[in-house]
Chain A
Amino acid sequence: IAGITQAPTSQILAAGRRMTLRCTQDMRHNAMYWYRQDLGLGLRLIHYSNTAGTTGKGEVPDGYSVSRANTDDFPLTLASAVPSQTSVYFCASSEQGLGNEQFFGPGTRLTVL
């Protein structure tokens, strides 16, 4: 059982390019999340999904979009990357309900030049 996986592990991207970060979980969790982590700012929520077919905006959604076509996959797309989107991106999933912790993927380190 892999848990939650992300791809790519790292990427260097030219500004203005489109990029999709992939996230897949095999735990059948209903809820999934995308965070970015920047030094001194901690983890900030970009988008989330309660269940397949639904998505919502987090704290810093601008410049990002997500889709949730099925339970397992939750891709994050940068339509036109900018240098301020250089960050480490973590995908997470959890069961719905109080007290259920989020499980995190290994992260994607993205550099936008």
Chain B
Amino acid sequence: GQNIDQPTEMTATEGAIVQINCTYQTSGFNGLFWYQQHAGEAPTFLSYNVLDGLEEKGRFSSFLSRSKGYSYLLLKELQMKDSASYLCAVRDRENNNAGNMLTFGGGTRLMVKP
């Protein structure tokens, strides 16, 4: 089985930097995804990590440490439109007959204030 933990809520100020953490326990880690979900909308893909290290994509970066079962999503130069939920999802090599089946954490609701 898998256990994925994220903070429920975070608040940050426009223009600042925020780090959203995700810890996971899985028997056969095979990749970690971050998704953004605005209220009332569908999740949209942000990043994918399968090897240790930092993946940078514009204002967003995602980091992975497989040995620690830990990832974070870093958002720089926060904008009001970044107010959304951020979902961490893990793919497990075991129990994954679909090959790309994901288990999601509960999500972190980020509120950006002026």
Contacts and interface: CB of A to CB of B under 8 A. Distances in A.
A58 B101 contact: yes
Interface stretch (B12-20, B36-44, B69-77): B36-44
A22 interface: no
A102 B107 contact: no
A81 interface: no
A98 B97 CA distance: 13
Contact of A99 (B31, B98, B106): B31
Contacts of B107: 42
B43 A100 contact: no
Contact of B98 (A56, A103, A106, A107): A56
B104 A44 contact: yes
Interface in A86-107: 90, 94-107
Nearest to A91: B42
B50 to A, nearest CB: 7
A37 to B, nearest CB: 9
A30 to B, nearest CB: 9
Interface of B: 8, 30-31, 33, 41-45, 48, 50, 87, 89, 91, 97-107
24 contacts: A31-B99, A33-B98, A40-B8, A40-B106, A41-B106, A42-B87, A42-B104, A42-B105, A43-B104, A45-B103, A48-B101, A50-B99, A94-B100, A97-B100, A98-B30, A98-B91, A99-B50, A100-B100, A101-B45, A101-B48, A102-B102, A106-B41, A106-B42, A107-B41
